[in-house]
Structure formats: C-alpha cells, structure tokens
Amino acid sequence: MASRPPRAWQRMLSGRRLDLLDPTPVDIEIEDIAHGLAFVARWNGQTRGDFPYSVAEHSLLVETIFSRMCPKASAADRLTALLHDAPEYVIGDMISPVKAAVGPEYGTLDDRLSAAIHIRFGLPAITSKTLKRRIKRADKVSAWMEATEIAGFAESEADRFFGRPPADMIADLKITLRPPVEVRADFTARHAELLAAS
C-alpha cells in the first residue's frame, strides 16, 4: 500500500487552504497575514515586557523607518516594506543562526510565499535588488532598536551586528509592546492605506 505524501498545506482562519510548497495568490488574505504576524514573536520570544514583540509590530516599524530613509518611495515600495516578513505568518520567525542551520530550503520556501503574497496585492513577484537592499537597511535599524531596547544587547554589541543607526532617524521612535489584537488592527489598517495609494 502506497503511503500518502506528507500534508503540505495549512488551513487559515479565513477558511483558505494554503499550500506551503506551491502557494497561490488566491489563497492569500491580509487578515490571515495580520493575525499570524501579530502572534509570531521576534527574537524567539526572548524579549523584555508583558507582551511578545511581534513580527507585525516589527513590520510596522520597518515601514516607518524605510519611509524616513526613502521619503520619495512610492506607496507600492512602502507596501513591499510592510510585507517584507509576511511569509512568517505561516513559517514563523527564525533567528539568523537557525536559518543558517536549516539551509537554502528555508530561503526557497520564503521566496515562493513572498511571490504569491506580492502578486496577491499587485506588487512585482520578485522585489528588485535595489528595493530589497533599502528595506534591509531599514530592517537593520529596527533590529538595532529591538536589540538594545528589549532583547538585552549592549549598544556596542548591537553596533557590531546591525550597525549603529543615525541618532536623528530614531530619536522619536520607541519600541512598543502591545496586545496582539491591537497590532493586528494597526497592521491591517496600514496595509489598506498603502494598498489604496498604490
């Protein structure tokens, strides 16, 4: 008797059935992404505070920083920044050392999901290298802030891993820890604003 292949899909709260190995844009819903990211903890949950610092909160911060670094960026580019970690709504947030241990398969899965998500929201399936590099710069600023404010890094240690951001860029920004339902609502609202402006 032939054995069945392992199940490679996940049922979403929207009712969609997302095939992780062959995701299609029609199975992507922003409510599923926002919900998943609001409940996925950054830093493997090793942060100070009464709530985990979620990938959704991180994504909102990265989009804010990206918009400051690139004030002439289009709404579509800002939406791409907001969605830069969107695949983590189903594959979780792995810290860099774990990604390295898992190997290139993680990157392939992430790329497939990103392409489906981008197509679903009218973005190019593959982000240009230039835009990806700019978003990564904003991501590193966010990581530095998170590391020093809530993840227990000394500033000198964070400087080595992420690079010290310009003080004026982050002077009025603060890491906030909020209930997941609040973060989910803000992520969904920001997505709607950027999508409408794209």
What is the set of domains in the chain, with CATH numbers? Answer: 25-197 (1.10.3210.10)
**CA distance to 118, 155, 158, 159, 169, per residue, from 145 (Å):** 27, 9, 9, 10, 11
Phi first, then psi: what are they for 170, rounded to 5°? Answer: -115, 5
Q: Tens digit of pLDDT for each residue in 13-30?
A: 999 999 988 999 999 999
Q: Tens digit of pLDDT for each residue in 137-194?
A: 999 999 999 999 999 999 999 999 999 999 999 999 999 899 999 999 999 999 999 9
- Could you tell me the two tokens for 123? 């973005």
